[in-house]
Each structure stands twice: as C-alpha cells, then as structure tokens.
Amino acid sequence: MALPSPFFAAFTAILILLLSQKASCLLSSKHNNVTDQQSLLSFKSMISGDPTGSLASWNNSIHFCNWVGVTCSGLQHPQRVVSLSLSSLDLSGVISPAIANLTFLRTINLSHNKLRGPIPGGIGNLHRLRVLNVSLNSLERGIPDSLGGLTSLTKLYLFNNSLSDNIPSTMGNLASLSLLFLHNNKFTGSIPPSLGRISSLSVLALTNNLLNGSIPSTIGDLTSLTSLYLSGNRLSGLVPSSLAKLSSLSVLDLSNNELSGSIPSSIGGLASLTSLKDKYKKRIGFKDTSNNDSVYR
C-alpha cells in the first residue's frame, strides 16, 4: 500500500488540529451556556412571589434565551445572556448572588417590584454592565463597595428603596456614569468628595436621604452636570462657590436642608440655570423661569 504523500499528511494534521480546536470551543461554549442557565434558575429559586406567573416559562422545555425578560447576544457570543429585564412584574424575594455569574450582562432592570435584602456585591464583577436599575423595591443595607468597579456603567438607578449606610467613596470610580439616582433612601454620612471625579455625570439625585455635612466643593468639577438634586437632607454649612463652574447646570435644588449663609451670586449668573430651589434665591436676583416646580421623583 502506498504511503501518504507529505502534502496529504500535513493536510490531515491541520484538519485534525482545527477539528480539535472547534470541539474545544464548543465544549467551552456549552459550559458557559450551562452556567448562564443555572444562574438564571438560581435567580428564580430565590423569587418567593410571582403572582402574574412571569417566570413560568423558565424551565427546561424552553431554551433560556427565550425565557421572559432574558435577552441573549448574537453571533459574537452566541447564547450568552446580555440583558435581564423583569421590571414591574410584582416579583418578591431577594436577588440571588448567582446573578454575578452572568458575566456578559450589559443591562439589569429589576425595577418596580417587591424585592428585599441586599444588592449582591458580586454585581461589581460584571464589567460589561452599562445599566443597573433596581429602583422602586424594598432593598436594604448599603451600596457594595464593589459597584465602584463597574467602569462601563452609564446609568445607575437605586432610588425608592430602603438602602442605608454611607455612600461608598468607590462610586467616584464610575468613570462612564451619566445618571446617578440615589434619592428616596436612608443613606447617611456625608456626600463623598470622590463623586467629583465622574466628569461624565449629567444628573445627580440625592434627594430625601439622611445625608449630613457640607456640600463638597468637588461637585463643582462635574462640568457635564445639568441637574443637581440635594433637597430633603441634613446638609449644613455654606453653599460652595465652586458650583458656579457648572456651566451646563439647569436645575439646582438645595431646599429642606440646614445650609447657612447666602448662595454665592456667581451661581445666579449661570446661563443655563432655569430652576433654583432654595430660600436664598431672591438674594441673588435669580428669576425662576421653569414651568415645573417639582423635585425629580
């Protein structure tokens, strides 16, 4: 029998190598897909109430990419969960720490439910995450320091919960953040000066908490800021003149605090400012031209 030619032998070797690599990728992909499915099932197991039956489809008879509220990626990372959106479904229970194993998540929206307990610290390892919305629930304890590692995060909605403790200084590491809504909680301590490092921030809402101390002068470094809501806290001291650097600011709400002195007149000269809510606004000759006199809720 004739021996195979060198060309045929080389071709066979390359083919075997390619097939083995493909098999390895398939095994890895299968493992990752299984991990995503198991993580979702763990999430479901910690939901104690689902009155509308929204998670009834979450079973082995349907591929998990077709489960209610689950979106998977396309060709680049097939069958990896990139979005978990379960808003306004009247779900009760706690958020499973297994959510941190959904490493391709870009969006988490669990808003307007009845979830309680803490925000899992492992969410801080989801480095692809861009939107985190767990507002309008009954979540407790503090913001995990680890959330400061979400450098791709652009929107963070934690409002209308029962979150407490200090706002961690690590929040200043959220370099891509544009919207930060922490209002209507029970946060204590002072406003972290590190928030002044988030140059992309356009809205900062800290209304109706238990924050004390002075307004950090570093807030004046947020040159992209259009709205600043600090009302309904226990803030004291003078209003920092550095706020006059916020040239894009249109709404400033400092009402219902323990601030002293007058608002610096330079703040009244901000060209974009249309609403200034504070008992001192008449002292700087500010004319409120806004039609909406309500605080963001």
pLDDT digit string, tens, across residues 191-202: 999 999 999 999
Asked if the structure places residue 20 within a domain, the reply is no
Residue 24 forms part of a structural domain: no
What's the pLDDT at 19?
Answer: 44
Whether 15 maps to a domain, the answer reads no
Q: Please say if the pLDDT value at position 9 is more than 80.
A: no
What pLDDT is attached to residue 69? 97
What is the extent of the structural domain holding 36?
30-284
d(CA 215, CA 28) in angstroms, rounded, equals 50
User: Is 217 within a domain?
Assistant: yes
pLDDT computed for residue 279 by the predictor? 52
Whether the pLDDT of residue 25 is over 60: the answer is no
Confidence of residue 214 (pLDDT cuts 50, 70, 90): very high
Q: Which residue has the higher pLDDT, 22 or 89?
A: 89
Q: Which residue has the higher pLDDT, 178 or 78?
A: 178
Domain membership of residue 190 (yes or no) is yes
Q: Which two tokens stand for residue 129?
A: 């995450």
β pairing state of 227-229 and 251-253 = parallel
Q: Is residue 117 part of a domain?
A: yes
Separation CA 76–CA 29 (nearest Å): 12
Q: Mark 249-283 as b/e (b = at least 16 C-beta within 10 Å).
A: bbbbbbbbbebeeebbeebbebeebbbbbbebbee
Where do runs of H (alpha helix) occur along the chain?
6-45, 265-268
CATH code, 129: 3.80.10.10
Tally of structural domains, the chain: 1
Residue 55: inside a domain, yes or no?
Answer: yes
Task: State residue 18's pLDDT score.
Answer: 44
Tell whether 296 is covered by a domain: no
